[in-house]
Structure 1
Amino acid sequence: MKTLIIGPSWVGDMMMSQSLYRTLKADNPQIEIDVMAPAWCRALLNKMPEVNQAIAMPIGHGSLALKERYQLGKQLKSKHYEQAIVLPNSLKSALIPFFAGIPKRTGWKGEMRYGLLNDIRTLDKQVFPLMVERYIALAYPKSDIRSAEDLPKPLLYPHLVVSAKDALLTRSEFNLSGAEPLIGFCPGAEFGPAKRWPDYHYAALADMLAKQEAKIIIFGSQKDRVVGDAIINQMTLGDRCLNLAGLTSLEQAVNLLSCCNAVVSNDSGLMHIAAALDRPLVALYGPSSPDFTPPLSNKAEIIRLITGYHKVRKGDAEEGYHQSLIDIQPELVFDKLMKLLERVRTSIGKEAP
């Protein structure tokens, strides 16, 4: 079966969608999966063995562009897809498979997409509490999966594959050829500082790790460069920390994260990438909740001091931080990280022949 996936437009959502691709491939090894998504997603899709082809979505997020979607659909008609699975819930995301004449068009009801989708599902958020469950459910006939309990267990978590050659090449590009352990920091987060652990806490944790002979690598986009500099400027051992925010491509960031001995991250897209790379991960949550989109990894530890979901874009502190994240002390994170690394080492030791 040739299947077209209309993929999400956010890093974290794209990562979680790989669980769907893995499930489809596990159930039908002969399936060909093409994914249409924004061009930047190619760096992730190329590291998903289940994906046959990444097709760039040239239309910007939020734009209807009806004529362009019609033309894209007509171009895809020659590929003779048997099924399309539409992951975004918007009406416009269902247009291209409809224009392509794909016989089976699957997705959640979303924005009244009757007709555009002909295998339409009605979502009960209570029976599919996790986003990854909602994605995986679309791999099966709706009559077979009525709740998350019906999904095959264990769920196939996202798993990016980075070749040793790519990892080594990227390390050399950034002069990271030393043997010291690398700890990745992902201090950014979308929508302002309310989801961010304070930079001064990151700085204190970085000094603790530097005293353990670790080198700290800061990851993020160009807009995270300021917070990366703030972390280094508040460190005592700032020479042990390298700010790569805004200096790497997404592919380079993925390659380097795969080399890290562990990662400490806010609730962000990079957190989900680190989880998919199977890196020991400490994920720091404040007002956003891990109940819907947790890091999908058996090597992840979540630290959160409050419950529920709080829709805030800026905290009460002068810097915009949320008090629940301010209250997570560096000593707690350090302790969690050390115990996690010990647990991983012990687990590996038990698995060894």
Structure 2
Amino acid sequence: MKIFVVGPSWVGDMMMSQSLYRTLKALHPAATIDVMAPAWCRPLLEKMPEVDNAIPMPLGHGALAIGERRRLGKQLRENGYTHAYVLPNSFKSALVPFFADIPKRTGWRGEMRYGLLNDLRPLDKDAFPLMVERYVALAYDKQKVQKATDLPQPLLWPKLSVTERDISTALTQFSLSTQRPAIGFCPGAEFGPAKRWPHYHYAALAQKLIAEQGYQIFLFGSQKDKEAGEEIKQALTPEAREACFNLAGETSLEQAVNLIASCKAVVSNDSGLMHVAAALERPLVALYGPSSPDFTPPLSYKARVIRLITGYHKIRKGDAEQGYHQSLIDIQPKQVFAELEHLLSTEPSA
């Protein structure tokens, strides 16, 4: 059995898709699984033991480019795929498996994909409330699994594989010491400050962890999160700044994953790196405001979610100072510290 997957294009979604790969491998141990996704996804896919090959998608997000998709599909015919799983819901995402002439092509109905997919699933969102359930359900016969409660439990949650050598190499690359245990902070969020815990709260927590608890802080994120990292660092006392390292925009995705794996625990906004931390089974405090954990929560028994409001609020900019959302401002550092302290107290000693 040779499986071809059209994977998602976002970090969090890519992480949750690993549950499908793990499930397919459990059901079909001899199967090979190849995943086509944007090239930046390769570091994540390479840390998923179930995935045999990461195939780069050369087209940008949103590009239809039917001719190029036809060329890609025809090129893939020689691989002899027997099954395809299309995870995005767009019309264009179903084109490559169709042009590759893969015999069975499975996916949710999505954007008018009749004919492109021949194992088409109508999606009842109430029957599958979690994204991970929607991914995993595709591994099973649609007549047998019609709602989330039909899925075998427990679900196989995402689980990245990182070696001690990976961690050691990354620490050396950034001249990071292990004399102090590290706590990772992920202060960025895809859509700006409305989904971010305020930098001054992160700073207050960092100050306590460094000065009173003997930790060092690693700040993770993309280049656009670097400024938020600097705001956190500059709010610390000069002594505490020596134990705070702003790595946002400095690491590759692979390096960030390896360094997150080195952390004793992680504090994160609702972001892709939050899902990475969960898949690395790091003790995790996840902070939610207008976005909701009801659809894409961190998939880890070591994760604790703090949220003070209910429902989903489509807000791109908070109405408080600096664009923060009041529901995140109201989460106090002492509450986050208490959750963090509890998680660390239940961790087995190294």
Q: TM-score, normalised by structure 1?
A: 0.97
What's 1:259 paired with?
A: 262
What's 1:309 paired with?
A: 312
1:278 paired with 2:281, answer: yes
Question: Any stretches of 5+ residues in structure 1 without a counterpart?
Answer: none
Once the two structures are TM-superposed, the CA of residue 344 in structure 1 deviates from its matched residue by 2.5
CA contact (8 A) 1:286 1:305 kept: yes
Q: Secondary structure at the match of 2:321?
A: coil
- Written as runs of structure 1 = structure 2, the 5 A alignment for 1:332-347 is 332-345=335-348
Q: Secondary structure at the match of 2:295?
A: coil
Q: Secondary structure at the match of 1:157?
A: coil
Letter in 1 for 2:23: T
Once the two structures are TM-superposed, the CA of residue 318 in structure 1 deviates from its matched residue by 2.1
1:183-225, CA deviations, whole angstroms, 9 ceiling, x for partnerless residues? Answer: 0000000111100000000000000100211000000000000
CA contact (8 A) 1:167 1:258 kept: yes
What's 2:221 paired with?
A: 220
Letter in 2 for 1:218: L
User: Matches of 1:178 and 1:324 in 2, distance apart?
Assistant: 35
Letter in 2 for 1:332: Q
User: Matches of 1:154 and 1:140 in 2, distance apart?
Assistant: 15
User: Matches of 1:233 and 1:160 in 2, distance apart?
Assistant: 33
Question: Any stretches of 5+ residues in structure 2 without a counterpart?
Answer: none
Letter in 2 for 1:330: P
1:239-285, CA deviations, whole angstroms, 9 ceiling, x for partnerless residues? Answer: 21000000000000000000000000000000000000000000000
What's 2:139 paired with?
A: 139
Letter in 1 for 2:248: A
User: Matches of 1:49 and 1:26 in 2, distance apart?
Assistant: 12
User: Matches of 1:222 and 1:111 in 2, distance apart?
Assistant: 33
User: Matches of 2:225 and 2:267 in 1, distance apart?
Assistant: 15
User: Matches of 2:111 and 2:246 in 1, distance apart?
Assistant: 42
CA contact (8 A) 1:186 1:219 kept: yes
- Written as runs of structure 1 = structure 2, the 5 A alignment for 1:238-253 is 238-253=241-256
Count of aligned residue pairs for this structure pair: 347
Letter in 2 for 1:96: V
1:16 paired with 2:16, answer: yes
Letter in 1 for 2:305: I
Instruction: Name which of structure 1's ranges 114-123 and 237-246 shifts more when overlaid on structure 2.
Output: 237-246
Once the two structures are TM-superposed, the CA of residue 177 in structure 1 deviates from its matched residue by 3.2
1:159 paired with 2:145, answer: no
Aligned-pair identity (%): 68
Counterpart of 1:300 (choices 287, 290, 303) is 303
Once the two structures are TM-superposed, the CA of residue 140 in structure 1 deviates from its matched residue by 0.6
Q: Secondary structure at the match of 1:142?
A: coil
Letter in 1 for 2:230: D
What's 1:65 paired with?
A: 65
Once the two structures are TM-superposed, the CA of residue 343 in structure 1 deviates from its matched residue by 2.1
What's 1:232 paired with?
A: 233
1:36-61, CA deviations, whole angstroms, 9 ceiling, x for partnerless residues? Answer: 00000000000000000000000000
Letter in 2 for 1:338: E
Instruction: Name which of structure 1's ranges 13-22 and 165-174 shifts more when overlaid on structure 2.
Output: 165-174
Once the two structures are TM-superposed, the CA of residue 180 in structure 1 deviates from its matched residue by 1.3
What's 2:95 paired with?
A: 95
CA contact (8 A) 1:299 1:344 kept: no
Once the two structures are TM-superposed, the CA of residue 178 in structure 1 deviates from its matched residue by 2.3
CA contact (8 A) 1:188 1:266 kept: yes
CA contact (8 A) 1:219 1:244 kept: yes
Q: Secondary structure at the match of 2:242?
A: helix
What's 1:318 paired with?
A: 321
Once the two structures are TM-superposed, the CA of residue 167 in structure 1 deviates from its matched residue by 1.0
1:69-101, CA deviations, whole angstroms, 9 ceiling, x for partnerless residues? Answer: 000000000001001000000000000000000
- Written as runs of structure 1 = structure 2, the 5 A alignment for 1:21-100 is 21-100=21-100
User: Matches of 1:270 and 1:178 in 2, distance apart?
Assistant: 22
Runs of 4+ in structure 1 displaced over 2 angstroms?
none
What's 2:2 paired with?
A: 2
Q: Secondary structure at the match of 1:319?
A: helix
What's 1:269 paired with?
A: 272
Letter in 2 for 1:125: K
Q: TM-score, normalised by structure 2?
A: 0.98
1:150 paired with 2:150, answer: yes
